[in-house]
Amino acid sequence: MKAYVLVDVTVTNPSRYEDYKKLTLASLEPYGGKFIVRGGTADTLEGDWKPGRIVVLEFPSLADAKAWWSSAGYAPAKAIRQSASETKMIVVEGCT
């Protein structure tokens, strides 16, 4: 079953965050990950959510998503992201 990583990012260092974006794509490929949403316009329909940059990643499975997040291949990009933004991130299984 597919899995999705949902990310709400507030970028605090734009130039450093650009470095992160350059590294991320290659880290996804070994795990079958791909971008579904990458920072497009987001409008709140209900509640008081004030999203930053919204990113959605799709993976073949929950295990693949978790393996990517904890991988040595993603670690350098993750360290940059953590220093260049405030991030909320979850992983959720898709439906059949």
| CATH of residue 13 | 3.30.70.100
Q: Which domain holds residue 36?
A: 3-41+64-90
Q: Report the number of distinct structural domains present in the chain.
A: 1
Judged against a pLDDT cut of 90, whether residue 8 lies above it is answered with yes
Question: Is 10 a domain residue?
Answer: yes
d(CA 96, CA 85) in angstroms, rounded, equals: 33
Question: Is 73 a domain residue?
Answer: yes
pTM here? 0.92
Judged against a pLDDT cut of 90, whether residue 76 lies above it is answered with yes
Q: What is the pLDDT at residue 96? A: 79
- Given a contact cutoff of 8 angstroms between Cβ atoms, the answer to whether 72 and 93 are in contact is no
Express each pLDDT in 38-56 by its tens digit. Answer: 998 999 999 999 999 999 9
Question: Is 36 a domain residue?
Answer: yes
